Amino acid sequence: MSNIDKECDEHRHWRNIALPVSIILNLFLVALIGGHLLRGRVHEIGFGISLPRELARAEARLPPKDAAAFSAVMRRDAPRFMESRKRLSEARQEFERQITAEQFNSDAARRALTAWRMALNSFFDDFDNSLIESLSQLSPEGRRKLIDERRLNRAEDE
């Protein structure tokens, strides 16, 4: 075998090793970055902070009559959507465990990510109904006040 053939075989051998390693590392990085982006998105939509505290802050911003109506609906439904929020948190933690596992299992990570997405959808299904019902009890002034406050908070965060 000539030197050129030996060099070609060596290059082919390294390519056969480098390609799978590169694919695995890229998948891991995509999962890691995706997890960070989702976590950032989750914080952005309010899960990185205390939901009861945010509801109390919303209530405090409202005129008294609106605050009472808002609070009545949210307190009535809180056990249901707080249970959904707990399941959401557990699903996120499982996804993080899969990403940080010693032996990365892409199928298990994909299942955990799917479970997290389903838990997020379930939370919104439970919370959305309560939120819409509570907002329907508010005066136009109260709804505008909540949106104005949210815009101010968002501007401060940026």
pLDDT digits 0-9 by tens, 94-150? 999 999 999 999 999 999 999 999 998 888 888 888 888 888 988 999 888 888 877
- pLDDT number for residue 116: 92
Distances (CA, A) of 43 to 20, 38, 39, 50, 95: 34, 8, 6, 10, 16
pLDDT computed for residue 124 by the predictor:
83
Q: Summarize pLDDT for 6-60 with one digit per residue, the tens.
A: 665 666 666 666 666 566 655 555 555 655 555 544 443 444 556 677 777 888 8
Alpha-carbon torsion 111, 115, 121, 122, what sign?
Answer: positive
pTM, two decimal places: 0.53
What's the pLDDT score for residue 32? 57
Query: What pLDDT score was predicted for residue 6?
Result: 61
What would the mean pLDDT of 1-7 be, rounded to a whole number? Answer: 60
